[in-house]
Amino acid sequence: MSQKTDQELVRRLAERARRLRVSVLEMIYRAQSGHPGGSLSAAEILVTLYEHELRVDPKNPRWPDRDRFVLAKGHAAPALYVELAERGFFLKSELERFRQIDSILQGHPDMKKTPGVDMSTGSLGQGLSVGIGMALAARLDQKDYHVWALLGDGELDEGQVWEAAAYASFHKLTNITAIVDLNHVQLDGSTREVLAMDPVAEKWRAFGWRVIECDGHSVEELLGSYAAAKGEKSGPTVILARTVKGKGVSFMENNAAWHGAAPTEEQFQQAMVELKQSAAAEQTTKPGRDN
């Protein structure tokens, strides 16, 4: 990939992340229910995975050789659904039925109802273990697919995450990568108020994982981290992606109140204005950065 294509790719995916934020807020506003904070913080992570990294086939969602993705922080379902629709696993019109009766889009991901969802999740602490099961299956079947699990940092409070972390490194699993959406906010407040897991990187290292830290809103850094994680052949890698909860909407940023609340009409309109302005700002600043 040439330098120029790289820059085009980065610009395109950054714009996709902005659009994903718009779609996520539309879904939550329409349903008057859902989790905006952790969906907005994971926008770049999901866009880069689904629109660049993952080897999946929307026409054959159960393709045995596909890469697997487990949304351990299942409450970010809106962001996942936007990406699955973008890739063509189902019609975008389904997004309008998010959280409604008889919808294929449940409040938290349901592998039996939604094409492209590899595991039903929503109860925190379980996703990394599920990913290990998938990675072990690949090892047994000598398949080369890669397993990705996206965890929240509040989720690290769950002891089972560390059972899984110990297991994966002890068995030197290299076909699984954990990504932590490190937004420092959980439902009841900041992680530093509720249960600080700092120093997070040292904890993962102590559990035998290689740690890559990056800016979770930088497309470039995320793509680089994925490549580095897959290149590691001695054991599992965790990407600690520093993010901002509620990223892109001023009044939602770093505010625990927006973990699981839907915006009013006024708040929704304001959020749309801010996200449009950020697109305009990108347009004017980008050429300078490219030089």
Partner 1 sequence: MGITMREAYGRALASLGERDERVVVLDADVSKSTRSVVFLERFPERFFNVGIAEGNMMNIAGGLASCGKIPFVNTFSFLLTLRAGEQLRTGVAYPRLNVKVAGAYIGLSDSFDGATHQDVMDIAVTRAMPNMTVLSLSDHVMAARAVRAAAEFDGPVYLRLHRNETPDLSREEDPFTIGKAVLHRDGSDVTLIPTGIMVGKALEAADLLAKEGISAAVLEIHTIKPIDVEAIVKYADQTGALVTAEEHNILGGLGGAVAEVLGEHRPAVLERVGVADTFAESGAYDALLKKYGLTAEAIVAAARKALARRLTWRSRRRGAHEGRKRCI
The residues that touch partner 1, with contacts defined as CB under 8 A, are 64, 68, 70, 110-112, 118-120, 122-123, 125-127, 129-138, 140-141, 159-160, 163-164, 166-167
Distance CA 41, CA 37 (A): 6
Q: Quick count: other Cβ atoms within 10 Å of Cβ 171?
A: 13
Residue pair 31/107 in contact by the 8 Å Cβ criterion: no
- Residue 36 or 109: the one with the smaller Cβ distance to partner 1 is 109
Closest approach, Cβ 231 to partner 1, in A, equals 23
Which residues face 215 on adjacent strands?
242
AA letter at 108? H
For residue 29, give Cα distances in angstroms to 36, 54, 96, 104, 257.
9, 29, 10, 18, 15
**With left for phi above 0 and alpha for psi between -120 and 50, is residue 281 left, alpha or beta?**
alpha
Closest approach, Cβ 173 to partner 1, in A, equals 11
- Residue 126 or 177: the one with the smaller Cβ distance to partner 1 is 126
CB-count exposure of residue 233 (10 Å: 0-12, 13-18, 19+): exposed
Closest approach, Cβ 38 to partner 1, in A, equals 18
- Residue 110 or 282: the one with the smaller Cβ distance to partner 1 is 110
Distance CA 245, CA 134 (A): 29
- Residue 79 or 138: the one with the smaller Cβ distance to partner 1 is 138
Distance CA 279, CA 9 (A): 16
- Residue 149 or 219: the one with the smaller Cβ distance to partner 1 is 149
Closest approach, Cβ 158 to partner 1, in A, equals 9
AA letter at 277? Q
Closest approach, Cβ 68 to partner 1, in A, equals 8
- Residue 31 or 138: the one with the smaller Cβ distance to partner 1 is 138
Q: Would you list the DSSP string of 31-55? A: HT-S-HHHHHHTHHHHHHIIIII--
Closest approach, Cβ 123 to partner 1, in A, equals 4
Residue pair 259/37 in contact by the 8 Å Cβ criterion: yes
- Residue 120 or 186: the one with the smaller Cβ distance to partner 1 is 120
Closest approach, Cβ 37 to partner 1, in A, equals 22
